[in-house]
Structure 1
Amino acid sequence: YDPMIAKLITYGPTRDAAIAHMRLALDEYYIRGVTHNIPFLASLFAKDRFVKGNITTNFIAEEYADGFTADDLPADDPTTLIAVAAAMKRRIVERNIQISGQFPGHEMRAPEQWTVVLGGVYHDVDVRPAPGGYAVVIGTEAIEVKTDWQIGEPLIHANVDGRPVCVQVDRTGVSFRLSHSGVQAEAWVLTRPTAGMHKLMPYKAPPDMSKYLLSPMPGLLVKLLVEDGQQVKAGEPLAVIEAMKMENILKAERDATIAKTHAKPGDSLAVDQKIVEFSA
């Protein structure tokens, strides 16, 4: 495809081989700091019509009639991410237990039993060292993960049961944010006792901010074009913010009624500060 950052080209002796190379290359394409369309491209290369070459200039309009959503991403077996997350955690623990100053006879040992929490589902796994990597058992399924991944590397290249895999890794506190085949998932790898306590933790749902117009940047609210109780249509201007000597017009994303205004002209706004509240 032809993005603004760089051009990515793959090839192979057959169309299927070239597409397989492209899907792996997209997994290896590590971009941070700007938005990108890799999830959409991962979805596109998994479409049966594209794989078969049955495409026209209307392909995208026909396959994504309502636009691209997460539901369009290829269904991927979570086993791969579970095994990779477990292997990474084992490697991290193996380094941690090498800390000096331990009491003789009381040295730390790497646990073999873990629980991987992926998508809110708890998966009990066993992880043991094996030649070139680790043997991971998920339930009754044994999986071989061979990798030379080093802690801190943003990409883990692994051979999972003989299949080459690349997963992008970001550490978010004690969890991993994994990206593979266009899908991004957060994985927690916990000891069994910790996982048992984790299940008891109450879930705090994030606040619904969809009913607010938020300031997208620090700036000065120059104009507020609506008032309480006013009905607005999609695309109608709501406010004007001045930032970096430029005026930015904020428009309604859908038809709505103004429930309350939270700011007034002349206010200095912070990022994500409430400007307008819509009726539910």
Structure 2
Amino acid sequence: MRTPFIAANWKMNGTRSEVAALLDGFKSGISTESRQVAVFAPFVFLPAVQDALQGTGIAWGGQNAHTADSGAYTGETSLAMLKEFGCQYVLVGHSERRTLFGETDYIVADKVEAALAAGVTPVLCIGETLQEREQGITGEVCRRQLSTVLDQVGVEGFRKLVVAYEPVWAIGTGKTASPEQAQETHAELRAYLAETDADMAAQLQILYGGSMKAANAAELMAQPDIDGGLVGGASLKVDEFTGICNAAAAR
């Protein structure tokens, strides 16, 4: 049985006071019994997140990382730095990194490999644009994004990561794939990976990352191949995010 996993991606949002209020609300409103919960905060807030969440059962992670341990990479953050602040996870290949910052499938694969080597669990984000969905190539795009990483880290690497399927057209738009649409893609992804290793595919957590909120979380996570959510805008509201986490616990 795969454990539900709910991840909060705050993106480039928050002030000190807003972050403190969110963390207080999460600590008082979220139980991690029978589910995993993680917060992906902007780098500057990781010390505050570590101080607030240590010992609560809620994990935390970075939104991005460089593949190098250190060096002349102005503006970047290493996996070693993330580990110093207790990060168990790192987002890799989020659609905004791919589209706004030019990260290719190969860069994403390098980052996954580096995270695994550092002992940080990568949450590998994949997904299609609206144009790609309308062209009927959702499966082709997602398989390419998965296979590039699979070729590099192998089955054993995939046993140690989490996948988040995020239809790009549903991120921050308020649009959400229907539970049936999301389940269809999740099932296709799992079936594709099962061609390589059925046990790995059966155990892999695949999260849905397209405008999940408290109102639709239970229906989405009732689908057999949806194992949780990578939550953007709704994770900036205590009631919304705790509601999603409560829906995950009720699976």
TM-score, normalised by the number of residues in structure 1: 0.28
Name the structure, 1 or 2, with higher relative contact order (CA <8 Å, separation 6+): 2
Q: Which has the higher strand share?
A: 1
User: Which is richer in helix?
Assistant: 2
**Based on CA coordinates, which of the two structures has the bigger radius of gyration?**
1
